[in-house]
Chain A
Amino acid sequence: MDALDGVNAEVTRIFAAKEKRRHELARLPFPEKVRAVIQLQEMAATILQARGKIVKPWGFQQTSQLDRFRPASI
């Protein structure tokens, strides 16, 4: 990724790493992606419920290859 106008080298490096991670996620097997979508649903459901919108994540959760993509801070 080229350096962006007004953005320093460190931020450019972070953006490049994020882009790389997104492409890695795109290459996951489909069932792994479905599990990721369910994780997203669970995260979003909490936020949406706080706003008064009730949504239901799909029915299952299990550990998977996705764990290696989870940032260490979470």
Chain B
Amino acid sequence: MKRTLEVLNELEKEGVFSRCAIGGAMAATFYTEPVLTFDLDVFILLSSKNAGGVISLDAIYGALRKRGYNEEGETVSIEGVPVQFLPAYNALIEEALTEAREIDYEGVSTRVLRAEYLIAICLQTGRAKDRARVAMLREQASIDRELLADIMKRHHLEEKWTLWTE
């Protein structure tokens, strides 16, 4: 995965996207016990949108193809790791990307979404596996309660939080 992260950093440096951070199950794993996943979810802020404001991953796929990394379904295999690129699709994701924490992975600098934002994204997404992830994060991660409360208030997630945690 080290080389995968290096490639992501190269793309960011080249301006293919303006910012990226690990999300999904692998980000949750940063805070909890390891959980099974086959994809590396990477949230991205695109450098620019296509004409008409349409979000497109074409530039990313093109840059990766030039490096010899090809699409496999919804992912691109980068050094043996299927990477799922997820463009920031709302204000919560954009904020989560901006606030992502910088970490070091075996000498490679990368970012991972904060646990509080992972919880908020799970609440917003609302699938059964998101509910399980929230439970695991609450049990095992060190959560900044004030930050979480603030995020939930601003993104209108308090009702769902109450529903999921009562």
Judge whether A40 is part of the interface by a CB distance below 8 angstroms: yes
Sample of 18 A–B contacts (CB below 8 Å):
A23-B33, A25-B34, A26-B33, A26-B140, A26-B141, A30-B29, A30-B105, A33-B30, A33-B33, A34-B29, A34-B34, A37-B26, A40-B34, A44-B36, A55-B38, A56-B38, A56-B82, A58-B81
Main secondary structure of the interface of B (DSSP, over half): loop
Residues in B neighbouring A41, C-beta threshold 8 A: 36, 38
Partner of A25, one of B1, B33, B80, B103: B33
Contact between chains at A37 and B35 (CB < 8 Å): yes
Contact A31-B106, Cβ < 8 Å, known A22-B33, A41-B36: yes
Classify chain B: how many residues form its interface, as a range: 20 to 34
**Given A26-B140, A30-B30, A34-B29, 15 extra CB contacts under 8 A:** A26-B141, A28-B34, A31-B105, A33-B30, A37-B35, A37-B37, A40-B35, A41-B38, A44-B36, A55-B38, A56-B38, A56-B80, A57-B38, A58-B80, A60-B80
What is the interface of chain B, defined by CB distance below 8 A to chain A? Answer: 1, 26, 29-38, 79-82, 103, 105-106, 140-141
Contact between chains at A30 and B38 (CB < 8 Å): no
Cα-based distance from A37 to B29 in the complex (angstroms): 9
Partner of A37, one of B34, B105, B106, B141: B34
Cα-based distance from A54 to B1 in the complex (angstroms): 21
Complex A-B, nearest 7 residue pairs according to Cβ-Cβ distance, in ascending order: A59-B80, A36-B34, A25-B33, A26-B140, A40-B36, A33-B34, A26-B33
Residues in B neighbouring A44, C-beta threshold 8 A: 36
Q: How far is the CB of B55 from chain A (nearest CB, A)?
A: 27
Contact between chains at A23 and B140 (CB < 8 Å): yes
Q: How far is the CB of A74 from chain B (nearest CB, A)?
A: 16
In the complex formed, the residue of A with least CB distance to B110 is A30
Cα-based distance from A23 to B106 in the complex (angstroms): 23
Cα-based distance from A39 to B106 in the complex (angstroms): 19
Contact A58-B1, Cβ < 8 Å, known A30-B103, A37-B29: yes
